[in-house]
Amino acid sequence: MDVHIETRHCKLTDLEHEAAVKAAEHLLKFHDSIIRVDVTASEEAGEKVAEFTVRVQGKVIVAAERGSDHTKVIHDAREKMVRQLRKINDLRHDTRSAEVA
């Protein structure tokens, strides 16, 4: 899995950068076929923004969050992504929806 951290119009502290990397690595627990994770941290009109873009076997999933603290918005965006990955993983492994011949 490739992890790419990008900033726009702001700089991350070492602690915030480490939180972004750990958050990206944490996503592997919820889906085993993650190819790449892009984390974009930015500041727009005084508001901190974190966006996760995850590439999984032909799909691109995006989760973003806004707030006043980069560490918190990174964590909240990660939780949004976890919910989406769980849903995709559950649908992939759901045997009840398979047709019976």
Could you tell me the residue ranges of all domains in the chain?
Answer: 2-93
Instruction: Report the distance separating Cα 88 and Cα 44, nearest Å.
Output: 31
Phi and psi torsions of 76, nearest 5°:
-65, -40
The encoded tokens of residue 13 equal: 């502290």
Q: Which fold has domain 2-93?
A: Double Stranded RNA Binding Domain (3.30.160)
Q: In the predicted model, what is the mean pLDDT of the chain? A: 91
User: Do residues 35 and 70 make contact, with C-beta atoms less than 8 angstroms apart?
Assistant: no
Whether the pTM exceeds 0.75: the reply is yes
The CA–CA distances, whole Å, from 52 to 78, 93, 101 equal 7, 24, 40
User: pLDDT tens across 30-57, in order?
Assistant: 988 899 999 999 999 989 999 999 999 8
User: Do residues 42 and 10 make contact, with C-beta atoms less than 8 angstroms apart?
Assistant: yes
